[in-house]
Amino acid sequence: MGDINVFKRYEYKYLITVRQKEKILDEIFKYMKLDSYGRSAICNIYYDTDDFRLVRNSIEKPLYKEKLRVRSYGKAKENGKVFIELKKKYESVVYKRRLSMSNSAAEKWLASSEYCQTDSQIGDEIEYFRHFYKGLKPQVFLSYEREAYFMKDGSDFRVTFDDNIFARSDRLSLTEDPGGYPLLENDQVMMELKISAGMPIWMASLLAEEKIFKTSFSKYGTYYQEVIYPKLSVIKGGYKYA
């Protein structure tokens, strides 16, 4: 089942303007550098139940929440590498476990209603998740362009900037082109700080100086609230499209 990756860190989100991004970059370049991928496209398929149980729970801001998605870096090829990611958040700490495999293998696995034997703990966790939330299926395609920066001294602090964020409920395949409903205004950028220990003093000072405050912005959650939910009508026993 390919490479295994495990992450545990704090992730803080900030909705900023293009001007604020430029100001932040002026400071960032003193301490950080752009990662080897440069500016790259990221595409995701979010899995959820028929009644969108996972995203509905997430936007209620519980102490614990979780999601399942498949991610590719750029438009995927049928047998190109993708990542199945199980992301959990508990008391502001983000835990992410992921497996890499071909896009066709990921689609086949997640479409199966049978219990699939895996050869790793992370695979077992994903399999448990699939069967705990019965009926998971592709619900949203979400794409964006990202710039990621890491510390020159090798310390574990990363900054990412996401823009051109689009989501849609059709063409739910990573082999399709990006595009859909825009989640940000033209002048907006989503900045994320990914921290394992403390935030660098220079970054904390910069945020205070620019009056930049944390937000709870969720890409999938925003699309659900702005596009999916308005189309739903509540009926006895569940939801349906109006």
> Cα-Cα-Cα-Cα dihedral of 106, 109, 110, 112, to 10°?
150
Number of domains making up the chain: 1
C-alpha 157/C-alpha 222 separation (Å) is 26
pLDDT band at 42 (very low <50, low <70, confident <90, very high): very high
pLDDT at 93: 92
Query: Over pLDDT 70: what percentage of the chain?
Result: 94
Mean pLDDT across 167-182: 97
Residue ranges making up the domain that contains 50: 4-241
Report the sign of the C-alpha dihedral through residues 216, 212, 161, 181, in that order. positive
Q: Quote the pLDDT of residue 117.
A: 78
Q: What local confidence, expressed as pLDDT, does residue 238 receive?
A: 56
Q: Mean pLDDT lowest for which of 2-16, 81-95, 124-138, 183-197?
A: 2-16
CATH of the domain at 125: 3.20.100.30
State pLDDT tens for residues 62-102: 889 999 999 999 999 989 999 999 999 998 899 999 999 99
> Which of 88-92, 178-182, 218-222 shows the lowest per-residue confidence on average (mean pLDDT)?
88-92
pLDDT at 183 over 70: yes
At 92 the pLDDT is 82
The pLDDT-based confidence of 235 (bands split at 50, 70, 90) is very low
Tell me 2's DSSP state.
Answer: -
Q: Using CA atoms, how far apart are residues 94 and 71, in angstroms rounded to an integer?
A: 17
Q: What is the pLDDT of residue 236?
A: 44
pTM, two decimals, is 0.91
pLDDT digits (tens, 9 = 90+) for 117-169: 788 899 999 999 999 999 999 999 999 999 999 999 999 999 999 999 999 99
Residue 136: is it exposed, middle or buried by C-beta count within 10 angstroms (0-12/13-18/19+)? Answer: buried
Residue 116: pLDDT band (50, 70, 90) is confident
Q: What per-residue confidence (pLDDT) applies to 3?
A: 55
The token duo for 229 is 């939910």
